[in-house]
A and B are shown apart, each in its own frame.
Chain A
Amino acid sequence: MADASMVGLMGRVTGTVGPGLVGEVIVRVRGGAEHFLAHPASAGDRIETGTVVMVVEHLPPRTVYVTAAYDS
């Protein structure tokens, strides 16, 4: 089973992502939903809980860099 690429997947913030914080996002992957430690893709962004985000970088094993999916 190949490790599917995480980049481009959509997820939801379950712990605030921001500079100096270790955020958490939950992403649908491998037939289930798993949570990953998340950091903002562009430094200085703060993404509140509940925001829909897109994974732009995956650093194995469980760290992703995200950006808000919609301008809000």
Chain B
Amino acid sequence: MPMVVGVVAGVAVAAVLVLIGLFKLMWRVAEPNEALIISGSKHRTEGIEEGMGFRIVTGRGTLVMPGVQAVRKLSLDLNETELQVDCVTHQGIPLKVRGVVIFKVGDDFVSIANAARRFLDQQKLMSERVHNVFAGHLRSIVGGLTVEEMIRDREKLTGQTRAACGTEMEKLGLIVDSLQIHEIEDPTGYIQNLAMPHAAAVQRDARIAQAEANRLATEAEQQSFARMAEATRDSEILQAGYQAERDKAAAEARQAGPLAEAGARQEVVVQETRVAELEAHRREQQLQADVRKPADAAAYETRTLAEADRDARISSAQAQAKETELAAAAEATRVKAAAGAEAEATKARGEAAAQATRATGAAEAAAAQARGLAEAEAAKAKGLAEAEAIKARAAALAENQEAVVAQQLAENWPEIVKAGASAFGNVDNMVLLNGADGMADMFAKALTMGGTGLGLARQLLASMDRDGQAAQGASSLNGQSRKVPVDDK
């Protein structure tokens, strides 16, 4: 029984396994990067119009009848083709262009069908075919471009590529993802020459920048060296300072011993000095006690005695002085009394004398008055008489001037001659030249001087005559004053 069960189970398992194996054989799955091309069944042609004869499955599984249907895989992966083409540009410059074309089978069923019909057995040769297609097209593309455009205008290159190859690749069921020019070999050096001015400019700028950088670097370096030197100097100065401090401290330390010794010695000396001082002090005290005190006592005794003596003398002198003073005062009082008496007497005498003098003066004054009056009376009488005389003479003058003058001259002649001779009065010794004539001459001159005085008198009289007539009315009053100038003539 268990045997039967085991056989049944085994058969069942085997059947299941066989079923799984069959299913595995019949069920095919398309991977994401491949398309299954299934041929052999007329029905179930998906996506493709009639007449195609096969169906395309992408991205899923499908049931395939082994022996009835054939399944082939078409890779949808990316392919690339290296291009190496000799070509000539629009300007006629020969170039060697190396590039790469990246392409794949299109994802739509039309492209897959086209590609399947062309490349299903030649998937390995696809690159070669594409290379051949592109080599020819690239020549025509490059021939339509200039070198500058190729280098700079990639858009134009791709546009030209699409225009030239797009439709052809479409026929093959392929799409071009990119066409890249890797390298352009330039046997004539055109590109290099094209770049040369720019390269030169760049080189120049680079050299300038380099030089500038060098300069800056050198400056920085030199500054750095200077700083380093500065720092070294500062450090050395500091070190020297510290060294000096150390030396100083060491020297002080070395000196500490002797210093302490000297200090101790100084202390000793100080103490000794103190002892000596104390000794001296003690000695001084002793001397004070032994010598000075007795001397002081003696001096004090002497001084006290002298003072007593002096005081005694002073007292005696004071007594004397007092006595003298009192005596003087008494004398003074006496003299003052005597003087008072004398003054009284003198005063009385003076008053008496004054009285007498006044009386005498009054008497004399009365006498003088009387005498003065008498004299005045006499003078008055005399004046009147003279006035009469003058009046009479004036009358006479008026009548005969010449006679009066002559008379007057005659009266006064001796006087005149005397006056002329007075010029010689002072002559001590006179020498006369020219003999008697000289003498006569001299006298004549002297008399001429007198004659001159006569003329003058005459003039005066003439003027007086005119005045005298005008002033005759007042002559009685002014007689006295008028007489004097005439009389002096």
- Chain A residues close to B by CB (< 8 Å): 1-3, 15-16, 21-24, 30, 32, 34-35, 37, 60-63
* Contacts known (A1-B46, A3-B108, A30-B108); A61 close to B163, Cβ less than 8 A: no
- Evaluate contact between B159 and A22: CB separation under 8 angstroms: yes
- Evaluate contact between B46 and A62: CB separation under 8 angstroms: no
Which chain A residues lie closer than 8 Å to B155 at the CB level? 15-16
- Evaluate contact between A21 and B107: CB separation under 8 angstroms: no
* Contacts known (A60-B110, A61-B110); A1 close to B163, Cβ less than 8 A: no
- Evaluate contact between B47 and A3: CB separation under 8 angstroms: yes
- Chain B residues close to A by CB (< 8 Å): 46-47, 57-60, 106-111, 114, 155, 158-159, 162-163, 166-167, 170, 173, 175
Closest to A36 in B: B175
* Contacts known (A3-B47, A3-B110, A60-B108); A22 close to B162, Cβ less than 8 A: yes
- Evaluate contact between A22 and B166: CB separation under 8 angstroms: yes
Query: A15, A21, A35, A61: which contacts B108 (Cβ < 8 A)?
Result: A61
A60 to B108, CA, bound (A): 9
- Evaluate contact between A61 and B58: CB separation under 8 angstroms: no
CB distance from A23 to the nearest CB of B (A): 8
Which chain A residues lie closer than 8 Å to B46 at the CB level? 1-2
Closest to A35 in B: B175
A49 to B37, CA, bound (A): 37
- Evaluate contact between B47 and A15: CB separation under 8 angstroms: no
Closest to A4 in B: B108
* Contacts known (A1-B46, A62-B111, A62-B175); A24 close to B162, Cβ less than 8 A: yes
- Evaluate contact between A15 and B111: CB separation under 8 angstroms: no
- Evaluate contact between A30 and B175: CB separation under 8 angstroms: no
- Evaluate contact between B159 and A15: CB separation under 8 angstroms: yes
Query: A22, A35, A62: which contacts B163 (Cβ < 8 A)?
Result: A22
- Evaluate contact between A61 and B107: CB separation under 8 angstroms: no
